[in-house]
C-alpha cells in the first residue's frame, strides 16, 4: 500500500483516539457557557479559545469528532447494506427485477441529492438518526453498482453453478459464494463512503438542518463561526481544517486500498 | 425520469407521519383544522392528489407556497436565473481551468507538477464546500477587501462589473465541487490517448507537438470527459444549496433551504422537481454533445 495511504490510516487512528479518549482527558463541558469569557484567545484554560458564548472550543472539537465520526460511519453502513441488497438482488435475478432496480439506481444518481435531503428534512425534522438514514438512503447507488457488477460476473462462475446444482438456496449462494468476491470492492466503497458521509453531514449541519446546537458537530460549529469571521476568524478555521484532514485521509486510504486490494483497477502510472 | 422524481418526493412528503396536515399547529381548533384540511384537499386519497398535482405541474402550476401564499412556480421563476447563472459560471470555470490542467498533467505525467496538481485535486475533493467559501471570504473580503462577500449585486451601484465581482467567489467555490473530477478524467483520458498508435503516427509525420496533443489527442480524449461532465451535473446543482447559503446568493438552493426551514411542503417539492428536471435536461444536452464529438455514437 502506498505511503500516503499508510499515513492516512495513522492519521485516522489518531483522530479516532482523540474522539474516544479526548473527552476523558480534557474534562471540560462542551456546552457549558461562560459569557464573561466569550471569544477568548487561546490560553492555558482554553487551549483553542472560546466561542461566542464562552464555550470551550477544544472540548467542542473533541465531542464534535465523536458525533461526526459516528454519523459518518453509521451512514456509510446504511448505504452499504442498502446498496449491497439492491445490487445483489438485481444482479442475481436479472430480468425485470434487474431492469427495475438498476433504473432506480440510475435515476437516483441523476438527481441532485442535496435537494432531496432538504425534502426529507422538511418532513422528518432534524437529528442524528434522521441524518444517518437520509445520507445512507441517498448514497447507496455506487455500492449497488459495484455489487451488481460483481454479482453479474460471478453469477455464471462454475463454482456458483455447482453450488446451485447441489440445491443451495439463492440466499446461501449469494451470501457464501458471490458476495465474498465483492468484499475487496466493498471495503474500498465503504472507505470512500465515510468521506462522502462526513462531508454531507457537516454541510447539512452547517445549514442548520442536521445536528442542532448546543450539541457540537464540526459542521454546526462553522455555522455559528461564520458570523464572527471579522472578529474571531480562528473559530471558523479549526472545525473546517478538522473535516478536511479526516475526509482527505479517508479518500487517500480508499484510493490506496483500491490499488492494494484490486490489481485490475490499479491506476496507470 | 422527471415524473419518477416528482412521484417519489410527492408521495414521500404526503405519506410520511407529520406530513402537510401537521403544519397546522396547536393554536387552531379541531373544526378550523378540519376545514383547512378540506380546503387544501388533504382529505382525498394521495394518488388522486398526485394526479391533480401532476396535471397542474404539466401546465406550469406547482401549487401555492404555504409561507407566502404566492404560486410556487412564480417563486421558482424569480430565483431560477440566478442559480443558472451561478451554476453556468461554475461549469464554465471548471471546463476552462480543468481541461488544460488535466492535459498538462497527462503530457508531463509523473513530473513534480503532475504530482502537485494531483495532490491539489485530492484536496479539492476533500474540502467542505462551505468551509472553502468561508476561507475565501476571510481572505478576499475580510483581509484584502478586494471582493464582496455576499449577495448578487451591491445596493445602488448595480453595474456589470459589480455583478461579476459578486460572482467570482461563489462561482469558484461551486466549481471546486466538480473541478477535481474534471481534471482527473481529463488526465486519465489523455494518458490513454497519448499512447495510441495514431498519435505516434501524427508525431512521426512531423506535426508540431502542440498540434499532436490538441488536434489529435485532446479531440479524442474529450469524448469520455464530456460524458463525465454530464454525470457531474447533479453534483454541481446539489452544490448550489451550500454555496448559495454561504454567499447569501438568492437562488434555488436558498429557496429550498427557506422552504425546508419553514416546512413549506409545496415549495420544497416544487424546487426539488424543477432542479431534477434541470439535471435531466442537462444530461440530455451532454448526450447530444457527445454524439456530435464522437461519430461512432449514432445520434
Name the pLDDT band for B26 (thresholds 50, 70, 90): very low
Name the pLDDT band for B6 (thresholds 50, 70, 90): low
Q: Which residues of A touch B271 (CB under 8 A)?
A: 115, 118
Q: Which of A20-34, B138-152, B257-271, B276-290 has the lowest mean pLDDT?
A: A20-34
Give the DSSP H/E element, type plus range, for residue B216.
Answer: none
Q: Which residues of A touch B16 (CB under 8 A)?
A: 123-124
Express the helix, strand and coil content of chain A in percent, nearest 5 each. Answer: 75, 0, 25
Structural domains in chain B, CATH included, are: 2-58 (no CATH), 79-297 (1.10.3720.10)
Alpha-carbon distances, residue B218 vs A157, A225, B104, B206, B211 (angstroms) = 40, 44, 11, 18, 10
Mean pLDDT of chain B: 78
CATH architecture of A3-29+49-268: Orthogonal Bundle (1.10)
Q: Compare all CA atoms of chain A with the CA of B133 and give the residue at the minimum distance.
A: A226
The chain A residues in contact with chain B (CB within 8 A) are 107, 109-116, 118-125, 195, 199, 202-203, 206-209, 219, 222, 225-226, 229-230, 233, 236-237, 239-240, 243-244, 247-248, 251-252, 267-269
> For B113-122, which contacts have Cβ atoms below 8 Å and span 24 or more sequence positions?
B114/B187, B117/B183, B118/B187, B120/B180, B121/B179, B121/B180, B121/B183, B121/B184, B122/A248, B122/A251, B122/A252, B122/B180
Domain residue ranges of chain A, discontinuous segments joined by + = 3-29+49-268
Rounded Cα gap, residues A83 and A144, in angstroms: 4
Amino acid A247: pLDDT: 92
A226:B246 CB<8 A = yes
Average pLDDT over residues A39-56: 71
Amino acid A250: pLDDT: 92
Rounded Cα gap, residues A140 and B214, in angstroms: 38
Q: Calculate how close chain A gets to B245, using CA atoms only, in Å.
A: 7
Amino acid B13: pLDDT: 60
φ, ψ for residue B71, nearest 5 deg: -65, 135
- Partnered with residue B239 across adjacent β-strands are none
DSSP string, A195-235: HHHHHHHHHHHHTTSSSPTTS--HHHHHHHHHTTTTT-THH
Tell me the three state secondary structure of residue B189: helix
φ, ψ for residue A88, nearest 5 deg: -70, -45
Please check the confidence at residue A230 and state whether its pLDDT lies above 70.
yes
Amino acid B17: pLDDT: 44
Amino acid A83: pLDDT: 93
B130:A206 CB<8 A = yes
- The answer, yes or no, to whether ipTM is higher than 0.90 is no
Amino acid A16: pLDDT: 86
Instruction: Point out the residue among A123, A202, A209 whose CB comes nearest to the CB of B19.
Output: A123
* Cell numbers representing residue A119 in the block: 425534502
Q: The whole model's pTM is what?
A: 0.84
If we measure between CA atoms, which residue out of B46, B76, B41 comes closest to residue B61?
B76
Cβ distance A122 to B268 under 8 Å? yes
Residue in the block written with cell 460511519? A73
Instruction: Point out the residue among A111, A225, A230 whose CB comes nearest to the CB of B276.
Output: A111
Please check the confidence at residue A216 and state whether its pLDDT lies above 60.
yes
Amino acid at each position: 500500500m502506498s505511503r500516503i495511504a499508510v499515513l492516512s490510516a495513522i492519521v485516522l487512528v489518531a483522530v479516532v483516539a482523540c474522539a474516544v479518549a479526548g473527552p476523558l482527558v480534557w474534562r471540560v463541558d462542551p456546552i457549558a457557557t461562560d459569557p464573561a469569557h466569550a471569544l477568548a484567545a487561546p490560553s492555558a484554560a482554553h487551549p483553542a479559545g472560546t466561542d461566542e458564548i464562552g464555550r470551550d472550543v477544544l472540548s467542542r472539537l473533541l465531542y464534535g469528532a465523536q458525533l461526526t465520526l459516528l454519523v459518518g460511519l453509521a451512514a456509510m453502513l446504511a448505504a452499504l447494506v442498502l446498496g449491497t441488497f439492491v445490487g445483489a438482488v438485481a444482479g442475481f435475478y436479472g430480468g425485470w427485477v434487474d431492469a427495475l432496480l438498476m433504473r432506480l439506481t440510475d435515476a437516483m444518481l441523476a438527481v441532485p441529492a442535496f435537494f432531496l435531503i432538504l425534502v426529507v428534512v422538511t418532513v422528518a425534522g432534524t437529528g442524528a438518526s434522521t441524518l444517518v438514514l437520509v445520507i445512507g438512503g441517498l448514497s447507496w447507488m455506487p455500492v449497488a453498482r459495484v455489487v451488481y457488477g460483481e454479482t453479474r460476473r460471478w453469477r455464471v462462475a462454475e463454482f456458483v453453478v455447482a453450488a446451485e446444482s447441489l440445491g443451495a438456496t439463492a440466499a446461501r449462494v449469494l451470501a457464501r459464494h458471490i458476495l465474498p468476491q465483492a468484499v475487496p470492492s466493498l471495503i474500498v466503497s465503504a472507505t470512500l463512503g465515510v468521506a462522502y458521509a462526513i462531508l454531507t453531514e457537516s454541510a447539512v449541519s452547517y445549514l442548520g438542518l442536521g445536528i442542532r446546537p448546543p450539541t457540537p458537530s464540526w459542521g454546526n460549529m462553522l455555522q455559528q463561526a461564520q458570523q464572527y469571521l471579522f472578529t474571531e476568524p480562528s473559530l471558523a478555521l479549526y472545525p473546517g481544517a478538522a473535516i478536511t484532514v479526516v475526509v482527505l485521509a479517508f479518500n487517500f486510504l480508499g484510493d490506496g486500498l483500491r490499488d492494494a486490494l484490486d490489481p485490475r483497477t490499479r491506476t496507470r502510472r | 425520469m422527471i415524473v419518477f422524481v416528482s412521484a417519489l418526493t410527492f408521495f414521500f412528503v404526503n405519506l410520511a407521519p407529520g406530513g402537510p396536515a401537521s403544519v397546522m399547529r396547536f393554536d387552531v381548533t379541531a373544526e378550523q383544522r378540519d376545514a383547512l384540511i378540506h380546503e387544501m384537499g388533504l382529505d382525498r386519497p394521495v394518488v388522486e392528489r398526485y394526479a391533480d398535482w401532476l396535471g397542474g405541474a404539466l401546465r406550469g402550476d406547482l401549487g401555492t407556497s404555504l409561507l407566502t401564499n404566492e404560486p410556487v412556480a412564480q417563486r421558482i421563476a424569480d430565483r431560477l436565473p440566478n442559480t443558472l447563472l451561478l451554476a453556468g459560471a461554475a461549469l464554465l470555470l471548471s471546463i476552462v481551468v480543468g481541461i488544460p490542467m488535466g492535459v498538462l498533467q497527462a503530457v508531463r505525467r509523473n513530473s513534480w507538477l503532475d504530482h502537485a496538481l494531483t495532490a491539489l485535486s485530492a484536496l479539492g475533493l476533500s474540502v467542505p464546500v462551505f468551509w472553502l467559501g468561508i476561507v475565501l471570504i476571510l481572505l478576499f473580503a475580510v483581509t484584502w477587501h478586494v471582493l464582496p462577500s455576499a449577495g448578487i449585486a451591491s445596493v445602488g451601484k448595480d453595474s456589470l462589473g459589480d455583478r461579476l465581482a459578486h460572482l467570482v467567489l461563489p462561482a469558484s467555490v461551486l466549481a471546486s465541487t466538480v473541478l477535481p473530477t474534471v481534471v482527473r478524467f481529463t488526465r486519465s483520458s489523455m494518458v490513454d490517448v497519448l499512447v495510441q498508435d495514431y498519435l505516434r503516427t501524427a508525431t512521426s509525420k512531423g506535426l508540431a507537438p502542440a498540434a499532436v496533443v490538441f488536434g489529435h489527442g485532446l479531440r479524442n480524449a474529450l469524448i469520455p470527459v464530456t460524458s463525465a461532465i454530464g454525470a457531474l451535473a447533479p453534483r454541481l446543482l446539489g452544490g448550489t444549496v451550500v454555496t448559495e447559503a454561504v454567499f447569501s446568493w438568492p437562488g434555488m438552493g436558498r429557496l429550498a433551504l427557506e422552504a425546508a426551514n419553514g416546512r413549506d411542503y409545496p415549495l420544497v417539492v416544487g424546487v426539488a422537481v424543477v432542479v431534477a428536471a434541470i439535471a435531466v435536461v442537462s444530461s440530455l444536452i451532454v448526450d447530444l454533445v457527445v454524439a456530435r464529438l464522437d461519430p461512432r455514437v449514432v445520434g
